[in-house]
Chains A and B, each alone.
Chain A
Amino acid sequence: MADSRPDLQRRVDDTKRNSVRRAIRTELASDTPDERGNGGPGRAPAKATSVVELQSVSLAFDVPVLEDVSFVVQPGETVAVVGESGTGKSTILKLLLRLLVPDSGHVCIDGQDITDLSFDEALLVRQKMGMVFQGAALFDSMTVFENVAYPVREHTEMGEEEIEERVREKLQFVDLDPDRVMDQYPAELSGGMRKRVGIARGMANNPKIMLYDEPTSGLDPLTTNTITRLIAKLQRELGVTSVVVSHDMTSVSRMSSKIVLLHDRHAIFFGTPEEMMAQDNSYIRDFIGAL
């Protein structure tokens, strides 16, 4: 019995690995270029100017977190940052939002180097981005309506009617019934609904770039599916450029044009999901298999 366990484990691993590969292949086969945004991973981007760019970024707190990490996101692409827990995935999002400043290297948003911006200038750059937090981070003292309306009130001069119209539109986009949820408080919503409100709030001001921190973690498979579909829809219908931090490889393979794999402080892979599947590197193969 004891001898058969490693074999059994290997078989389980193989099955998992195969199912992820299958999922990726199926997605690649079924997706039309439009569905994957930007003409799919194989095509060259229409415009060469990058929307998000990390150039040789290094960052250390007490210990080094990121070393010489570089990647580029072209307009309309969805790039997923994957890696084990604690490899600095969420740190990358904080760098993009300039909540953190790299020790060396540069971070560019929409062609602008944001590394040396002042606090007030950074607030302006952040308006180009919508962020969806892991726990949604909705303001729990405000209703769903006030949460989604917040960025609109903060940065536009819209009247109340226009704001309501915008909030309704965004809630409908994320498949929520505005009349039912608008007056509810975040504590009254389920995890999946909170996440959807988080997406609605993130996109309320029609940002060019959406950032997602573990959008599918802690959700059941059906809700995971809904959220993945929503992210793809946002990119497909509105042409939003996205950076997704996740370790859910099945979702990642469905929605991303490119993948960045972080390991041991470095980006050890940056390329399309198919290129990732074709890698011989044992860590990459283990990573795909283990998830």
Chain B
Amino acid sequence: MSDLLRRFNESAKGKILTVQEYFSLAWKSLRFIFARPFYGQDLVQQMEEIGVKSLGIVLLTGLFTGMVLALQSSVQLRTFGATMYIGRLVSASMIRELGPVLAGLMVAGRVGSGIAAQLGSMRVTEQIDALNTLGTDPIKKLATPRVLAALLMLPVLTIINNVIGIIGGNIISSFVVRIPTSLYWRTVLQQIAADGFVLRYVPNDFVMGLTKPFVFGGLIAITACYFGLNTTGGTEGVGQATTRTVVSSSILILVVDYFLTQLLLSVLSYG
């Protein structure tokens, strides 16, 4: 019994330590955004890696998500004779939920795994130790540019994802459901206006739709840096770090999305 308790105690301590280290890394990498020296070149490189190179998968995901949304909602709406509201449904779903979450999941898979693998290999080949011995803080040099690049690029990717998703919905509603394009876009805009505004001009949907990817970007990069920088056990460890990054950041995105939605719904005055 005492053995069981002891093991439970050890495991609980380990978990708490992990959470503490995670938050410590998050705090440091965010704090270093405003501290000299600035690694501008690394930031631009990471923005390209995270943003530009993810464009392809985000475009594809967005297009097909918008198309399938239009297709599915047309079936449901037809029973009520309300197919003209497809635009409203596609726009609300894309901007508030599917755009940020799907862009987040895609980037977690593509970029999160890449960051974890790169930092993990650097850890096992002593390159992180080398940075330390050369008087560079590895968090500032490696984590901060990645976190900042993800914070900046994920909202951009999400906007592109939303626009292309709504265009996908437009394609289906025009060619399959036979709704005029002008009507589709009018309902899209109606939906955005119907959900209320912050400061009179900024639609609530935009605030919600851009807060989420900002948070998800940070989550993905910090999780990837955490697992990458703490890699142990050679090449096998690099593989494990990569898998853990993708699994953990995907789950975190979905869980945080729920709580963030709750929070934003109570803060923003919807309807």
Contact = CB atoms under 8 A, between A and B. Distances in A.
Contacts of A80: none
B135 A124 contact: yes
A129 B137 CA distance: 16
A126 B133 contact: yes
Contacts of B129: 94, 99, 133, 137
B126 interface: yes
A123 B126 contact: no
Given A97-B132, A126-B132, A135 B126 contact: yes
**Secondary structure dominating the interface of A:** mixed
A154 B132 contact: no
Contacts of A99: 129, 132-133
Interface in A120-165: 123-124, 126-127, 129, 131, 133-135, 137-140, 150-151, 154-155
A150 B134 contact: yes
B127 interface: yes
A99 B135 CA distance: 11
A129 B125 contact: no
B135 A151 contact: yes
A133 B270 CA distance: 59
A126 B126 contact: no
B20 interface: no
B130 A131 contact: yes
A39 B126 CA distance: 35
Nearest to B121: A140
24 contacts: A97-B133, A119-B137, A123-B132, A123-B135, A123-B137, A126-B132, A126-B133, A126-B134, A126-B135, A127-B135, A129-B133, A133-B126, A133-B130, A137-B125, A137-B126, A137-B127, A137-B129, A138-B127, A138-B130, A139-B122, A140-B125, A140-B127, A155-B135, A201-B134
Contacts of A126: 132-135
Interface string B125-168: 11101101111110000000000000000000000000000000
Interface string A69-101: 000000000000000000000000010010100
Given A97-B132, A129-B133, A137-B129, 8 more contacts: A99-B129, A126-B132, A126-B133, A135-B126, A137-B130, A139-B122, A140-B127, A151-B134
